[in-house]
């Protein structure tokens, strides 16, 4: 089954919700970056929440980025999600290894760290993108995103994200949900949903057992008249190309390119998002240099 996201409402519009199954997407990222389990969990959670947020973008060419710099050994987590369902991302250290936490789980919080910032950039293809930033409060990513929604977007939310990794390092299951009460939602409705969210099984376990995004939302808010409004396939894909990497070389300036040509005879660039290597030989560097003023 392909990965996908759904957007839904319930309780006569007082609740809106998003849910996603992202197992194949995270597995593709794992293979591309050769991720160890903690990195798979951290990047997978971030990609999942980004994909759910991106389905809410208005324009077909809009995109958003999530950048997490918590000061932990994983380094930065960078994810870009497009309105069309395409997601790409990377972590600085894909090989981070730590002991399990006190719950016997992958210690994502320690890997991410708590002495930094979580930044969300929404690119609406206008002059200036929207930028929201908050302190990282736990490093667990779902809790940090909940804090971001509350502080930066003034939107109370319940966010759950999960990634299960097999013993052979492949991804067994991945997904998440976001539940958001709208202005005017009755207090008893909010209290009931909060109680349901706190008692529901982990998202990754639900998906591993075969539950779909629809099943997860039905469990949480089905009795309030769940209505599925949108469904979108989501997938890992990088849109890098030689032209974009060529512009990176040009940005180095004439002197730097001449130095590379003289000392190395070629330029080798690797895309952070997909690890694809681009080689520009001497003739291509000469052409770029000649075209520069």
Averaged pLDDT, 82-108: 95
Mean of per-residue pLDDT scores for the chain: 94
Give one DSSP letter per residue of 182-240, joined into a string: PTT--HHHHHHHHHHHHHSPPHHHHHHTT--HHHHHHHHHGGGT-EEEEEEE-EE----
- Check residue 73 and give its pLDDT: 98
Is CATH 3.55.30.10 the classification given to domain 4-236?
A: yes
> Among 75-79, 100-104, 166-170, which stretch is predicted with the lowest mean pLDDT?
100-104
293: pLDDT strictly greater than 70: no
Indicate the fold that domain 242-291 takes in CATH: CBS domain Like (3.90.1280)
d(CA 93, CA 173): 22
Q: What is the pLDDT of residue 97?
A: 95
- CATH fold match for the domains 4-236 and 242-291: no
Q: Tell me the mean pLDDT in the region 169-187.
A: 96
Give, in order, the Cα–Cα distances in Å from 107 to each of 37, 111, 139, 178: 10, 6, 9, 22
pTM of the model as a whole: 0.92
Q: Could you tell me the pLDDT band of residue 165, with boundaries at 50, 70 and 90?
A: very high
- Token couple for 65: 């980025």
253: pLDDT strictly greater than 80: yes
Over residues 212-229, mean pLDDT: 96
- Taking only the tens place, the pLDDT of each residue in 21-53 is 999 999 999 999 999 999 999 999 999 999 999
pLDDT reading at 126 higher than 80 = no
- The model's confidence at residue 248, banded by pLDDT at 50, 70 and 90, is confident
How many percent of the chain have pLDDT more than 70? 100
Domain ranges of the chain: 4-236, 242-291
Q: Which pLDDT score is estimated for 292? A: 78
CB atoms within 10 A of CB 266: 13
Cα–Cα distance, 292 to 78 (Å, whole number)? 32
Using the predicted structure, report yes or no on whether residue 237 has a pLDDT greater than 90.
yes
């Amino acid at each position: 089954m392909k990965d996908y996201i759904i957007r839904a409402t319930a309780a006569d519009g007082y609740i809106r919700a998003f849910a996603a199954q992202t197992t194949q997407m995270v597995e593709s990222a794992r293979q591309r970056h050769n991720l160890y389990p903690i990195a798979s969990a951290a990047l997978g959670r971030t990609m999942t929440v980004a994909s759910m947020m991106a389905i809410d973008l208005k324009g077909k060419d809009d995109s958003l980025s999530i950048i997490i710099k918590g000061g932990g050994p994983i380094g930065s987590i960078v994810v870009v999600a497009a309105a069309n369902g395409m997601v790409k991302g990377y972590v600085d250290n894909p090989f981070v290894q730590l002991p399990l936490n006190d719950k016997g789980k992958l210690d994502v919080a320690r890997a991410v760290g708590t002495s930094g910032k979580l930044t969300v950039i929404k690119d609406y293809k206008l002059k200036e993108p929207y930028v929201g930033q908050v302190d990282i409060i736990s490093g667990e990513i779902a809790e940090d995103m909940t804090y971001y929604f509350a502080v930066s977007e003034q939107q109370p939310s319940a966010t759950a994200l999960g990634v299960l990794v097999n013993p052979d390092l492949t991804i067994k299951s991945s997904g998440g949900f976001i539940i958001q009460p709208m202005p005017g939602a009755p207090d008893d409705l909010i209290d009931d949903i909060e109680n349901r969210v706190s008692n529901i099984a982990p998202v990754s376990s639900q998906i591993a057992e075969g539950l779909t995004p629809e099943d997860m939302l039905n469990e949480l808010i089905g009795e309030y008249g769940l209505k599925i409004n949108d469904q979108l396939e989501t997938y890992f894909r990088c849109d890098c190309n030689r032209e974009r990497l060529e512009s990176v070389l040009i940005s180095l300036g004439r002197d730097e390119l001449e130095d590379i040509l003289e000392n190395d005879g070629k330029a080798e660039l690797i895309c952070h998002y997909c690890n694809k290597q681009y080689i520009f030989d001497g003739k291509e560097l000469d052409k770029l240099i000649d075209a520069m003023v």
